[in-house]
A and B are shown apart, each in its own frame.
Chain A
Amino acid sequence: MDNYPVLIVVAPLLAALLAGFAAWIEERLSYPIALLGLAVSTFAAFEVLMQVIFFGPIRYEMAGWPPPMGIEYRIDLLNAMVLLIVSGIAFLNLLASYESVNQEIGDRTGSFYSIYCLFVTGLLGVTATGDLFNLYVLIEITSLTSYAMVAMGDRDRGALASLNYVFIGVIGASFYLLGVGYLYIQTGSLNMTDVAIILQDYHGSSTVLTAFVLCMVGVWIKMAFFPLHAWLPNAYSYSPVVFLRVVAPLMTKVMIYVMIRLMITVFGFNYIFKTLNFADAVVILATVAIIFGGVMALAQKNLKKMLAYIIISEIGYMVGGVWMGNQLGMTGAILHILNDALMTFAVFLGVGNIIYQLKDVDFSNLGGLFGKMPWTMAGFVLAAFSIIGIPPTCGFFSKWYLIMGAFEKGAYHFAIALIISSLICAVLFFRVFEICFFPSSSQDNKQKDVHAPGKIEEAPVSMLIVSGFVSLSLIVVGLFSGTIVNMIILPFLT
């Protein structure tokens, strides 16, 4: 079927609309509608990936208007992979979330599912589109829905965290929009491939330089790259866990994808690494981001906040890998998009199960969890191993490529930061394991008696199955990472 590329994006959009309407008639209807929409989207994304692998990139002209006038969806190996990651994780998360949503959102489940689908639509659109302005609009759809979602979370702090997120988010998107404006002044086009062709003649132009810097700063704000990261920990740790499980793995990763797309397709490596010469500075920033994220994570007393800082550190991995400018670093960064999405998802599935039973994840409440929730903790441990980077889990392989890339480039500080960060992650997670392994001390028991009289049980089966499936996929993806690199990443890069 020729229309799979657009079906990926349209299915969740329709589901968002219908789920919203259905909630007026009967609140229970919205869940199956949302699930169906995302299932269709995942299936279409899978088909598109197969088509792209076997028959090459797809160009889909929206409503039959040929580019550069019309909007075009251009899907090559990189987006096809990211599309499958996004739709797959969103679908699996929804599969696992029915009980969590009922518990956490309560009386507004209809609007929750509607916004959830809209959020996924935004992410998928950002990934699929080949038009610079369309990308901006879809980024804003994603951001607007995530503002609403964050506000649905913590009753005390949610709204304030979300408002601060709005301020930063608007600045980020506006910078990107401004960058697109300068590109438009210089090229008169908004289609990515078209812009790239025209730009080849303007490598010395200061307009292009301005456009490049503005676009990059905008995207960095959106992905929470180191000096621009301040919004992330609060926004993420006060959002409802069902949303956290999808925003933490996907939002930042999709923004990394946008950065790679802008660098490879629009501006081109020749421009960035030959004409401009601040790639080294960005790699140093990435190094600082890795160390900073790790150190801040050490200082946290809440599992959600600790993981939020680990995300900041992981963003440093990918940005550094991309800006290394060699094939190994790039391979590592792209592979890490896949691996990091999966392992962050897996670790937050564990967190979600714990929150479902405990209501919060301060370290002081986690005592004895291995005894009470063995299956959840098994998944959590696998995910943690992958984040630390223990073979054969997938986190090891992308880190390996990144370190090789750093050595090839001579960026030893980056390689050292990667290794230190792995050690910090090991310390962090083994501390969590230690807390979870031993029953809490008497003082904590007293506190626990008040709200949950010692009867923590395992999470619902649907949550456990998804958690187990994703955690096992970490090992499977790890074992097949050679195949993934050879089938998807290397053909894309060469």
Chain B
Amino acid sequence: MTDLLALIVAKYNYWLYVILMMIGLYAMIAKNNLIKKLVGMNIFQTAIILFYISIGYKKNATLPIIENVHGTGGGHIYAIDYINPLPHVLMLTAIVVSVATFGVAMALAVRVYQRYKTLEEDELRMRLSEK
């Protein structure tokens, strides 16, 4: 039991992202309203962004901005003193992607609403089966 607790505490960032992801997935599967599903989708994507951000982190490390490296007195630079910037940079792109997806999905939701005057899935299904 204590082993398990230790494991959870030591890797809490992974647990957090998994929980967030499952919340998002739950909303996408179980919610009836299309906008709630969209919010779930966004939570799902954000969980993955958090995962990437957390894997770049190191204890007792600082931002990867290297002072004086081109000038005098740079001295040696140790990678261990700096957090890994690459996952963070990747996530800039992923954020752009998720914003774009969210935008497209919102536009589609507007189209659906204009056509059917509802965003509830069960009502949509009823409208579709009427025809």
Interface residues of A (CB under 8 A from B): 133, 136-137, 140, 144, 147-148, 151, 155-160, 162-163, 166-167, 170-171, 174, 177-178, 181, 184-185
Within B29-72, which residues are at the interface with A (CB < 8 Å)? 34, 37, 41, 44-45, 48, 51-52, 55
Residue of A nearest to B100 (CB): A144
A140-B101, A159-B115 are known contacts; what are 8 more A-B pairs with Cβ within 8 Å?
A133-B90, A147-B108, A160-B112, A171-B25, A171-B28, A171-B44, A181-B51, A184-B87
Q: Which residues of B contact A133 (CB under 8 A)?
A: 90, 93
Q: When A170-B41, A171-B28 are in contact, do A160 and B55 touch as well, CB less than 8 Å?
A: no
Size category of the B interface is 20 to 34
Q: Which residues of A contact B128 (CB under 8 A)?
A: 157, 160
Residue of B nearest to A140 (CB): B97
Type the 1/0 row for B103-119, where 1 means its CB is closer than 8 Å to any CB of A. 01101110110011000
Residue of A nearest to B107 (CB): A151
What are 18 sample pairs from A and B whose C-beta atoms fall under 8 A apart?
A133-B90, A133-B93, A137-B93, A140-B100, A151-B107, A156-B115, A159-B112, A160-B116, A163-B34, A166-B104, A166-B108, A170-B101, A174-B45, A177-B48, A181-B52, A181-B55, A184-B55, A184-B87
Q: When A157-B128, A184-B55 are in contact, do A137 and B108 touch as well, CB less than 8 Å?
A: no
**Is B22 in the interface zone, CB < 8 Å from A?**
no
Minimum CB–CB distance from A281 to chain B (whole Å) comes to: 24
- Closest 5 A/B residue pairs (Cβ): A159-B111, A163-B108, A140-B97, A166-B105, A159-B112
Residue of B nearest to A143 (CB): B101
Q: Which residues of B contact A162 (CB under 8 A)?
A: 108
Q: How many A-B residue pairs have CB under 8 A?
A: 69
Residue of B nearest to A137 (CB): B93
Evaluate contact between B124 and A160: CB separation under 8 angstroms: yes
Choose one: B45, B90, B111, B116; the contact of A170 (CB below 8 Å): B45
**Is B23 in the interface zone, CB < 8 Å from A?**
no
Q: Which residues of A contact B131 (CB under 8 A)?
A: 156
Q: Which residues of B contact A148 (CB under 8 A)?
A: 104
Evaluate contact between B55 and A167: CB separation under 8 angstroms: no
Evaluate contact between A185 and B55: CB separation under 8 angstroms: yes
Residue of A nearest to B104 (CB): A147
- Bound Cα distance from A72 to B99, whole angstroms: 26
Q: Which residues of A contact B48 (CB under 8 A)?
A: 174, 177-178, 181
- Bound Cα distance from A147 to B37, whole angstroms: 16
Minimum CB–CB distance from B90 to chain A (whole Å) comes to: 6
Q: When A140-B101, A144-B100, A157-B128 are in contact, do A167 and B28 touch as well, CB less than 8 Å?
A: yes
Minimum CB–CB distance from A192 to chain B (whole Å) comes to: 16
Q: When A170-B44, A170-B45 are in contact, do A163 and B112 touch as well, CB less than 8 Å?
A: yes
Within B70-87, which residues are at the interface with A (CB < 8 Å)? 87
Residue of A nearest to B90 (CB): A133
Minimum CB–CB distance from B18 to chain A (whole Å) comes to: 10
Residue of A nearest to B103 (CB): A144
Q: Which residues of A contact B28 (CB under 8 A)?
A: 167, 171
Q: Which residues of A contact B97 (CB under 8 A)?
A: 137, 140, 144
Evaluate contact between A159 and B108: CB separation under 8 angstroms: yes
Q: Which residues of A contact B93 (CB under 8 A)?
A: 133, 137
- Bound Cα distance from A184 to B48, whole angstroms: 14
Q: When A137-B93, A171-B28 are in contact, do A166 and B101 touch as well, CB less than 8 Å?
A: yes
- Bound Cα distance from A160 to B112, whole angstroms: 6
Q: Which residues of A contact B109 (CB under 8 A)?
A: 163
Residue of A nearest to B17 (CB): A178
Minimum CB–CB distance from A377 to chain B (whole Å) comes to: 31
Q: Which residues of B contact A166 (CB under 8 A)?
A: 41, 101, 104-105, 108
Minimum CB–CB distance from B50 to chain A (whole Å) comes to: 11
- Bound Cα distance from A160 to B118, whole angstroms: 12
Evaluate contact between A177 and B94: CB separation under 8 angstroms: yes
Minimum CB–CB distance from A484 to chain B (whole Å) comes to: 36
- Bound Cα distance from A144 to B96, whole angstroms: 12
Minimum CB–CB distance from A215 to chain B (whole Å) comes to: 13
Evaluate contact between B124 and A144: CB separation under 8 angstroms: no
